[in-house]
């Protein structure tokens, strides 16, 4: 049976090359702070955007919490977080951005359902993943009522 651990993630070397371009003279810490600050603002206006980050969301949420942005709750899916993160936060954010951009390009930015690729030798079908954060969904519902 296919698991989330079987899914294909971007190669670290590729992400490092993209990161060099994205830094624009910033340090990695400055980039992470800048990214998370901007993301926080977008999520406060439209909480459902978290879905576009799919399995990267738990690590992003943890990074937001570490920087004092507790607006989106405190519960983090540790199992998913362990799998969909890199050893440096900036690399995780680059991978998450690339993933989110692909979702946007395909018109799936608000969909909670994700099909994550797996190697052909593991399975001939993609892994189905649901991006569901109860705390952020509650925020989105509350926003719908205003």
Q: Which two structure tokens, joined as six digits, stand for 34?
A: 């800048």
Integer angstrom CA distances of residue 51 from 8, 26, 83, 111, 124: 19, 27, 17, 6, 25
Q: How many angstroms separate the CA atoms of 86 and 109, rounded? A: 23
Give the residue among 107, 120, 126, 119 at the shortest CA–CA distance from 55: 126
pLDDT in tens, 4-53: 999 999 999 999 999 999 999 999 999 999 999 999 999 999 999 999 99
Question: How many Cβ atoms are within 10 Å of 11's Cβ, its own excluded?
Answer: 10
For the purposes of burial, counting CB atoms within 10 Å of the CB of 120, is it exposed (0-12), middle (13-18) or buried (19 or more)? exposed
> Where residue 145 falls among pLDDT bands split at 50, 70, 90?
low
Domain residue limits at 38 = 4-144
**Whether the predicted model's global pTM rises above the 0.75 cut:** yes
> What do you get for the CA distance between the two ends of the chain, in Å?
44
pLDDT in tens, 78-113: 999 999 999 999 999 999 999 999 999 999 999 999
Q: What is the pLDDT of residue 70?
A: 86
d(CA 121, CA 20): 33
Position 146 pLDDT exceeds 70: no
Number of folded domains in the chain? 1
User: What's the whole-number mean pLDDT along residues 64-90?
Assistant: 96
Confidence of residue 134 (pLDDT cuts 50, 70, 90): very high
């Amino acid at each position: 049976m296919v698991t989330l651990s079987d899914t294909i993630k971007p190669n670290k070397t590729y992400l490092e090359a993209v990161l060099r371009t994205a830094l624009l003279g910033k340090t990695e810490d400055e980039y992470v702070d800048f990214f998370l600050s901007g993301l926080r603002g977008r999520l406060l206006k439209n909480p459902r955007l978290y879905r576009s980050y799919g399995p990267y969301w738990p690590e992003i949420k943890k990074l937001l919490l570490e920087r004092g942005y507790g607006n989106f709750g405190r519960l983090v899916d540790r199992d998913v977080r362990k799998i969909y993160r890199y050893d440096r936060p900036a690399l995780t954010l680059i991978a998450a951005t690339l993933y989110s951009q692909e979702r946007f390009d395909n018109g799936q930015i608000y969909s909670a359902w994700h099909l994550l690729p797996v190697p052909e030798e593991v399975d001939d079908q993609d892994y189905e993943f649901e991006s569901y954060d109860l705390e952020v969904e509650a925020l989105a519902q509350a926003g719908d009522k205003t």
